[in-house]
Structure 1
Amino acid sequence: MHVTLDLVLDCAPDAAWEAVHSPAVFRAVSGPWTRVESLEPGGFPERWPGGEHRVRLKLLGVVPMGVQVIRLSDESLVLSDGSTERIVHDAGGSVSGPMRVVRSWHHRMAISTAPAGRTLFRDRLDVGAGILTPVVMVGFWVFWQLRARQLTRLAPGWRKKFASRP
């Protein structure tokens, strides 16, 4: 099953692209419902490169949800109209704790140009948890709605924050 968001964000696509590679943004859009702690030596980098990154999740900052591997890769597609869509894939998943019930995980964040210098942001999470999938999806659907509010609220600040990055 999957949950999706289709948003128009008030920032340039390049700023949104940098934002989806930012551990600080990841933590901001996950909170305050989920607290995320890096398990990597040295903590969170400024920008996530491709590859694996281990984090510990806590619901409301208190309830342990386990350890998750975030496995990132990037992809660029040329669309039929000649524009480009960039996609971040997270094909990681839980390795411990209650979230381990989720057996399959594929999260995609797609960035493309929207009118007036804004960003079309498509966010899709496909998960499988066996017979528990419908129950798990209710939780993810609620989390995705809260995430949408945070993304929309934070995006205007990304214009300035990520303006100097490539």
Structure 2
Amino acid sequence: MRVRLDLLLDCPADAAWEAVHSPAVFREVSGPITTAESLEPGGFPDRWPGGEHRVRLRMLGVLPMGTQVIRLRDETRLDGTRVVHDEGGPLSGAMTVVTGWHHQMAISPNPMSPETRTRFHDTLDVRAGLLTPFAWLGFAVFWRLRGRQIQKLAPGWAAQFGASPTGAAGSGESTAAGGAA
């Protein structure tokens, strides 16, 4: 089943692109419902590189939910939309009821105000066998709360990530890097 948010963010697309590549932003928009701890040597990087990243998840910071792999790759579509894909999934714990996971965050400038606003499509396709409707309901609630956090934080992203309304912020897009806000 699919959970989807279509948001208009008050920041340039380059800033949103950098934000979805930030483990710090990932942790901010996941909390306080879910907390994540990196299981990689050295902890979370400053910016997500492509590939796999293992995390330990807790609900409300105390209830163990298990471990999950975040498997990232970037895509730039022909229309210029940039997409971060996470095709990882649960490795242990309660989250292993989820048998299929594909999270996509699509970013493009808003046509009406391309220098200051961003179209953000946040989509999760999730499968959990017979438990799919219940998993979908939990993720739907979580995604709505996550969307509120994203909209709240987005106005500060241009300053936080050094994005200017007319220029790229940081390393731009490629087909091999990744992110997971």
TM-score normalised by structure 1 residue count:
0.96
| Match in the other structure for 2:97 | 101
Q: Per-residue displacement from partner, 1:51-78 (whole Å, max 9, x unpaired)?
A: 0000000000010000000000000012
| Match in the other structure for 2:29 | 29
| Match in the other structure for 2:130 | 131
| Match in the other structure for 1:7 | 7
**Structure 1 unaligned residues grouped into runs of 5+:** none
Kindly report which structure 2 residues correspond to 1:61-140, keeping only aligned pairs within 5 A, or say none.
Answer: 61-79=61-79, 84-114=80-110, 115-116=112-113, 117-140=116-139
User: Shift of residue 136 of structure 1?
Assistant: 0.6
Give the match's secondary structure for 1:99. Answer: helix
Q: Does 2:57 match 1:57? A: yes
Give the match's secondary structure for 1:68. Answer: strand
Give the match's secondary structure for 2:129. Answer: coil
User: Shift of residue 140 of structure 1?
Assistant: 0.1
User: Shift of residue 2 of structure 1?
Assistant: 0.7
1:40 maps to a residue whose letter is E
User: Shift of residue 130 of structure 1?
Assistant: 0.2
| Match in the other structure for 1:43 | 43
User: Shift of residue 133 of structure 1?
Assistant: 0.1
Q: Per-residue displacement from partner, 1:13-55 (whole Å, max 9, x unpaired)?
A: 0000000000000000000110110000000000001000000
- Count of aligned positions: 162
Moved over 4 A (4+): none
**Structure 2 unaligned residues grouped into runs of 5+:** 164-168, 171-181
| Cα distance in 1 for residues equivalent to 2:143 and 2:11 | 20
Over the matched positions of the two proteins, sequence identity in percent amounts to 65
Q: Which has the higher contact order (CA 8 A, sep 6+)?
A: 2
Q: Judging by fraction of residues, say which structure has more strand.
A: 1
| Cα distance in 1 for residues equivalent to 2:72 and 2:16 | 16
Q: In terms of mean alpha carbon deviation, does 156-165 or 67-76 score higher? A: 156-165
TM-score normalised by structure 2 residue count:
0.88
2:93 maps to a residue whose letter is G
Give the match's secondary structure for 2:48. Answer: coil
User: Shift of residue 163 of structure 1?
Assistant: 1.3
| Cα distance in 1 for residues equivalent to 2:78 and 2:127 | 30
| Cα distance in 2 for residues equivalent to 1:136 and 1:101 | 8
